[in-house]
């Protein structure tokens, strides 16, 4: 990075890394996950949300039944939407903005109606097969660059309503995101690619500070 007395811009990677695009601009740093929300969900702050809104017994029961922890289960569910959004991103006939996560997540079982989701987006069996073929291309990619933060948080919110807790309908995504943001330790942020990039920028742009320490 060149020395620059101005501002540091942090942007979401979105699908750039999956498409082979790397950001190479001074004073601009991309997240080392799909977006900032997914980066935070990847951190230990997820435990803060479960402690705040979840039920210990329900969480334990779910994990014993599934044989995996909550983060893994959440990630698997969000991957369905993430892979689909990536597959249709360049197809004008299949707009990912029309996908409403709650419509395809059963809050009584916290399961994804994949068949219904694919049929809704594809509109025909032939296009559904094409969709699945596109999605298979992401099998070996970094999952945290596939999943979208808003999908993760919405799926988590639905899970907390009955399967993982007793979250009231009045508690929305913004409240969950607020707990996620405040629960991420600074040292953990600094260990990410984003955090290291911020530290590098600070060292090259003294006396400007982002962390403030």
Is residue 162 domain-resident?
yes
Is residue 89 domain-resident?
yes
Is residue 164 domain-resident?
yes
Tens digits of residue pLDDT in 2-54? 555 668 999 999 999 888 888 878 889 999 999 999 999 999 999 999 999 99
The residue segments making up the domain with residue 122 are 55-185
pLDDT band at 126 (very low <50, low <70, confident <90, very high): confident
Q: What angle do CA 142, 144, 62 make, to 5 degrees?
A: 115
Is residue 18 domain-resident?
no
Distance between CA 194 and CA 33 in Å, rounded?
A: 9
Look at residues 66, 85, 67, 52 and name the one whose alpha carbon lies nearest to residue 182.
Answer: 52
Return the number of other C-beta atoms located less than 10 Å from residue 72's C-beta: 12
Is residue 99 domain-resident?
yes
Is residue 197 domain-resident?
no
Is residue 23 domain-resident?
no
Is residue 50 domain-resident?
no
Q: How many domains does the chain have?
A: 1
pLDDT at residue 133, as a whole number: 83
Burial class (CB in 10 A: 0-12, 13-18, 19+), 101: buried
**Cα distances (Å, whole numbers) of residue 120 to 9, 36, 58, 141:** 37, 28, 32, 25
Are 73 and 62 spatial neighbours (Cβ–Cβ below 8 Å)? yes
């Amino acid at each position: 990075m060149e020395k620059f007395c101005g501002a540091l811009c942090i942007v979401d990677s979105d699908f750039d890394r999956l498409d082979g695009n790397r950001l190479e601009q001074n004073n601009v740093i991309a997240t080392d996950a799909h977006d900032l929300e997914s980066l935070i969900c990847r951190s230990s702050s997820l435990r803060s949300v479960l402690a705040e809104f979840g039920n210990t017994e329900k969480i334990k029961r779910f994990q014993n039944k599934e044989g995996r922890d909550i983060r893994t289960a959440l990630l698997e569910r969000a991957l369905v939407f993430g892979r689909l959004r990536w597959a249709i991103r360049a197809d004008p006939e299949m707009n990912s903005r029309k996908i409403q996560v709650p419509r395809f997540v059963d809050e009584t079982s916290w399961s994804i109606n994949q068949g219904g989701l694919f049929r809704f987006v594809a509109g025909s069996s032939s296009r559904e097969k094409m969709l699945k073929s596109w999605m298979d291309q992401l099998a070996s990619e970094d999952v945290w660059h596939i999943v979208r933060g808003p999908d993760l948080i919405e799926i988590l919110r639905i899970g907390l309503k009955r399967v993982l807790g007793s979250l009231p309908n009045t508690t929305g995504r913004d409240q969950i995101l607020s707990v996620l943001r405040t629960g991420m330790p600074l040292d953990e942020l600094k260990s990410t690619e984003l955090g290291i990039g911020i530290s590098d920028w600070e060292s090259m742009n003294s006396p400007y500070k982002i962390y403030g320490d």
